[in-house]
């Protein structure tokens, strides 16, 4: 903490430097974001030209905005010369990070794929036609089995729609949505049982004394720490922990008895 004499001894230039190193205020933050939204669109359009068609522009734009928001929130005039240059780096970085996360290939696998494509392209130019496996093995310095393993490793992933059949000409085909089981789906009977248990638990909680009831509400619904709850009641944290443990144990015993 800087005391008053230390502040008084600062020169104007020192104060200006400290101001430049401090976070931008809310008004400046909002202005930076609003003024540079076109920059996000421009960067996305340039990057979009080099990406597969399956990647949607609006998705990239949304990711780019998160980069812009981070740039505006972390911008320090004394450390960065201009906001557009700094924001461009953060926006591109946010988009590239998301693209890497979405990429099914590891960096090593993608490097192998580039090497394979480069070798095939070179041989096609030299031989003027289709490349045979023997020539490709020699160019890659691999055995036939190693080349087979590599081609399997870098084989492209095929994206299919869950809502449409593979062959749209056959109207009787089922969509993958109707064929692939949903592991997150809860059977109707189980859902009904859960609802009944929830209602029983709600009724039992309503019958609890005021303090245990409030402790549960503050802990589970308001996400308060036990120490904060203890401060509200004027009790020790260990006492609140004891009340919480006893109340949860009481409810568990009640449900076990009802469901037995």
Q: Which residue has the higher pLDDT, 73 or 176?
A: 73
CB count within 10 Å of CB 179 equals 10
pLDDT classification of 4: cutoffs 50, 70, 90 = very low
Global pTM? 0.39
Residues 70 and 63: their CA atoms lie apart, in Å, by 11
CB count within 10 Å of CB 225 equals 12
Query: CA 103: distance to chain centroid?
Result: 14
Residues 76 and 86: their CA atoms lie apart, in Å, by 10
Q: pLDDT tens digit string along 14-61?
A: 434 434 445 567 888 888 899 999 999 999 998 888 777 777 788 889
Burial profile 205-218: b = 16 or more Cβ within 10 angstroms, e = fewer: eeeeeeebebbbeb
- Nearest of 215, 222, 225 to residue 245 by alpha carbon: 215
Q: pLDDT tens digit string along 54-106?
A: 777 888 899 999 999 999 888 876 665 688 888 999 999 998 888 877 765 66
CB 246 within 8 A of CB 207: no
CB 213 within 8 A of CB 163: no
Query: CA 58: distance to chain centroid?
Result: 16
Residues 230 and 190: their CA atoms lie apart, in Å, by 38
Q: Please state at what angle helix 107-127 crosses helix 144-153, rounded to 10 degrees.
A: 120
């Amino acid at each position: 903490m800087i005391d008053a004499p230390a502040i008084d001894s600062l020169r104007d230039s020192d104060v200006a430097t400290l101001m430049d190193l401090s976070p931008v205020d809310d008004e400046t933050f909002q202005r930076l974001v609003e003024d540079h939204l076109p920059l996000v669109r421009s960067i996305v359009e340039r990057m979009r030209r080099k990406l597969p068609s399956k990647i949607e522009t609006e998705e990239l734009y949304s990711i780019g905005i998160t980069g812009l928001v981070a740039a505006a929130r972390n911008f320090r005039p004394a450390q960065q010369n201009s906001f557009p240059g700094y924001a461009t780096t953060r926006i591109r970085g946010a988009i590239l990070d998301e693209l890497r996360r979405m990429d099914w290939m590891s960096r090593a696998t993608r490097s192998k794929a580039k090497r394979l494509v480069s070798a095939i392209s070179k041989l096609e130019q030299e031989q003027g036609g289709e490349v045979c496996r023997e020539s490709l093995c020699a160019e890659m310095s691999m055995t036939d089995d190693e080349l087979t393993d590599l081609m399997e490793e870098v084989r492209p992933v095929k994206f299919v729609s869950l809502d449409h059949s593979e062959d749209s000409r056959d109207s009787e085909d089922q969509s993958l949505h109707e064929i692939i089981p949903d592991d997150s789906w809860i059977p109707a009977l189980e859902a009904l049982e859960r609802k009944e248990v929830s209602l029983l638990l709600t009724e039992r909680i309503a019958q609890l004394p005021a303090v245990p009831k409030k402790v549960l509400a503050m802990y589970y619904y308001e996400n308060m720490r036990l120490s904060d709850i203890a401060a509200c009641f004027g009790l020790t944290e260990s006492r609140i922990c004891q009340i919480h443990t006893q109340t949860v144990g009481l409810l568990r015993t009640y449900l076990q008895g009802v469901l037995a």
